[in-house]
Structure 1
Amino acid sequence: MQQKMKTKRAAAKRFKVTGTGKLMRNKAYKRHILTKKSTKRKRNLRHAGLVDATNVKAMKSILPYA
């Protein structure tokens, strides 16, 4: 009997899958020390980004059903 694979819950909370199967992530550097960062830079950090292609294979292994 084949076992179901477990999803890493920490990753499941941080990444979402798009309709085309790509992985979305939130950007770093938006939590503190914001005074020295420009308004434009902080605004661009609001938008989610895609996980880089070099990391997708590793991400799919920890998110097997994503």
Structure 2
Amino acid sequence: MSGGTVKLAEIKIDRERCKGCELCVHFCPKGCVTMEDSFNSKGYRPSCFIKKDECTGCAICARVCPDVAIEVWR
């Protein structure tokens, strides 16, 4: 490897399915999920994936999501 960062996981959040409960934000051990400033078509502030280089792919965010709005790939 030549000094680049290795992406351990990819997270996809379905912003239309998300109801903004913030469980993923509170349970992410690396703080890789936050809430958007904008609203989805249902009037909720969905979560979004940040700090992509720090995500370990633990999938805690997906497991705690009551709306099944998060997918994690390792």
TM-score, normalising length from structure 2?
A: 0.24
Higher normalized helix content (fraction of residues): 1
Q: Which of the pair has more CA radius of gyration?
A: 1
TM-score, normalized by length of structure 1? Answer: 0.25
The structure that is strand-richer by fraction is: 2
